Amino acid sequence: MIRDPAKNPAFLKLDLYCKGMRLGDSCLIEDDGGRPILRTRAGLGSGLEAVLPGDLWTNIPVAEPFAQQSPYVLERVDGDYVIHRDGKPVAPITLAPLPNWYERRTTSGKPMRTVGTLQGTYLGVYPAKVCEYWVKGSERPERTNCKFCSVGLNLGIDDADGKAVDEVVEVARAAWLESGITYVDFNTGHYEGHTYLDFLEPYIRAIKQETGLLIGVQTPPHPDLTRYDRLKAMGVNRVSFCFEIFDPQRFVEVCPGKHEAYGLDTYLKAVEYCASLSDFTKLSGEPWVANGEIIAGLEPKESSIAAIDWLTERGAIPTVCVFRPLKNTDYEHLPPPDIDEVLPVYQRLYQKCMEHDLPIGLAPNIHVSLVMLPEEARMLQDDPNRFRFKEWKLAAKRQAFRAKFALEQRAKRRAFAAAHA
């Protein structure tokens, strides 16, 4: 049952990350209101945004050569999209809807989708210039970008270069009012002088004040850890540190820039510090979680599992991506991981989050296409009911948090309507 893609959408989501999918000649993705296939995600996204059975949002690799060998093929049957395998239907899917505002322009004249993109149901923004590991100069004679990353290939193509606060607020407002987003995720690369938090703070303040949306920040670890207390006081709800690889030697190979500028230990210390700022017993005030992000498939599964254990023991929630050998990246020649390499990693992800009572899946309307969430990995367990008592407690917490958030959002929307009447 676990490994039956026709019966288990979580397994299908994972297997599609590993194998990709072919698009049959019958598919008319954009004509049917689907989102364009954009390579705008910080490193690992490139594919078809779709919704699998069970309301599992996903981003299916379709553009990379490995996807052309996939046993999965998407066909349009009587106007509906159905994934087939070996000629047999596996699962119907829905195309993630193209937001009305995507092709609209900001007041400054940029297409809104080049300022922010919907990744699943949240807004992802990469507001700064390109990560400096991609840029050669006197201090960096060779680029030192992470080997899997495509960020330096994206900017100026699918993504606008440099985004003003007003532009980002305008797009966030459109996504808030028209797409009903609840969360905005800011992502930056590395900049000399550790300026990434200084750069992001005006965006965060402006969006939080106007919309009250949940906000996340994904940057390198700032050397002054008190900056995270400041982010928390500002209303940031999530900080995420992408160390990608837990094996120290492999980290150096895969992430040479991160190794030179920070080192794995600096990432881990920042995760540990930020996790120590969480208090999961309180429902009042702004929620705060720390995430550590890793990529399954670029190191042995035992090492990814060790990372999950390390993070969850400290109260941090792991974010686990599946390695995708994107076109034109340094690792484009590598094969995607085998499902047997990643399945045990996701099984452990759910188990450890539950064992440590981590608050997974609390926020409303957050469906993530680029990764499988810990709560989605429940369906990959041999015994999905093993933690049922903890699940009940979590469900109660979820309900209380969502009720509080809905009230706050209602007040924000009323205030916005009054201000713009």
For 41-80, letters b (16+ CB in 10 Å) and e give bbbbbbbbbbbbbeebbbbbbbbbebbeebebbbbbeeee
Scanning 14-22, 142-150, 282-290, 399-407 for contacts with ligand SF4 by CB under 6 A, the matching segment is 142-150
Q: Amino acid identity, residue 394?
A: L
Single out the residue of 5, 157, 27 nearest to residue 81, CA to CA: 27
| Pair 99, 121: CB distance under 8 Å | no
> Smallest distance, Å, CB 186 to ligand SF4?
13
CA 48 to each of CA 6, 86, 131, 305: distance values in angstroms, whole numbers, following the listed order: 19, 20, 25, 28
- One DSSP character per residue, 101-166 reads TTTSB-TTS-BGGGT-EEETTEEEE--SS--GGG---SS-SS----TT--HHHHBTTTB-SS--HH
- Least Å distance, CB 274 to ligand SF4, is 18
Kindly tell me which of 83 and 255 has the beta carbon lying closer to ligand SF4.
255
**Which parts of 161-200 interact with ligand SF4 (CB under 6 A)?**
189-190
The candidate with the shortest Cα–Cα distance to 218, out of 152, 270, 181, 278, is: 270
Q: At what angle do helices 339-355 and 301-313 cross, to 10 degrees?
A: 10
Give the binding range for ligand SF4 (CB under 6 A) out of 19-27, 70-78, 146-154, 278-286.
Answer: 146-154
Q: Is 151 one of the binding residues for ligand SF4 (CB under 6 A)?
A: yes
127 binds ligand SF4 per the rule CB under 6 A? no
Instruction: Determine, following the binding rule CB under 6 A, whether residue 145 of this chain makes contact with ligand SF4.
Output: yes
Minimum separation from the CB atom of position 131 to ligand SF4 (A): 3
- What's the CA gap between 341 and 370, in Å, rounded? 18
Interface characters, 26-45, with ligand SF4 (x: CB under 6 A): ----------------xx--
**Residues 67 and 20: beta-carbon distance below 8 Å:** yes
Q: Cβ closer to ligand SF4: 113 or 190?
A: 190
Answer for which of 18, 60, 131, 274 binds ligand SF4 (CB under 6 A) is 131
Q: Does 246 contact ligand SF4 by CB under 6 A? A: no
The answer to whether residue 72 forms part of the interface with ligand SF4 (CB under 6 A) is no
Nearer to ligand SF4, 154 or 303 (CB): 154
Nearer to ligand SF4 by C-beta: 187 or 304?
A: 187
Query: Is 146 near ligand SF4 (CB under 6 A)?
Result: yes
Shortest distance, position 127 Cβ to ligand SF4, whole Å? 13
Task: Pick the piece of the chain touching ligand SF4 (CB under 6 A) from 114-122, 143-151, 295-303, 404-412.
Answer: 143-151
- Encoded one letter per residue, x for contact with ligand SF4 by CB under 6 A and - for no contact, window 257-276 reads xx------------------
Tell me the C-alpha distance between 279 and 275, whole Å: 9
Closest CB to ligand SF4 among residues 149, 368: 149
The span from the CA of 310 to the CA of 318, in Å, is 9
**Residue 133 interacting with ligand SF4 (CB under 6 A):** yes
Give the residue with the Cβ less far from ligand SF4, 145 or 291: 145
Contact 89, 82 (CB under 8 A): yes
Q: 157: buried, middle or exposed (CB in 10 Å: 19+, 13-18, 0-12)?
A: exposed
Report long-range pairs for 85-92 (Cβ below 8 Å, ≥24 apart).
Answer: 85/5, 89/6, 90/5, 90/6, 90/12, 91/5, 91/6, 91/9, 91/12, 91/52, 91/53, 92/53
- 72 vs 267 by CB, closer to ligand SF4: 267
- DSSP 8-state secondary structure symbol assigned to residue 97: B
* Cβ proximity to ligand SF4, 16 vs 151, nearer residue: 151
Q: How far, in Å, CA of 373 to CA of 351, rounded?
A: 12
Stretch of 19-27, 145-153, 323-331, 413-421 lying at the interface with ligand SF4 (CB under 6 A)? 145-153
- 81 vs 267, beta carbon nearer ligand SF4: 267
- Kindly determine how many residues on this chain lie close enough to bind ligand SF4 according to the rule CB under 6 A: 12
Q: How far is the CB of 242 from ligand SF4 (least distance, A)?
A: 6
Q: Residue 22 or 324: which CB sits closer to ligand SF4?
A: 324
User: In the complex, which residues of this chain contact ligand SF4 (CB under 6 A)?
Assistant: 42-43, 131, 133, 145-146, 149, 151, 189-190, 257-258
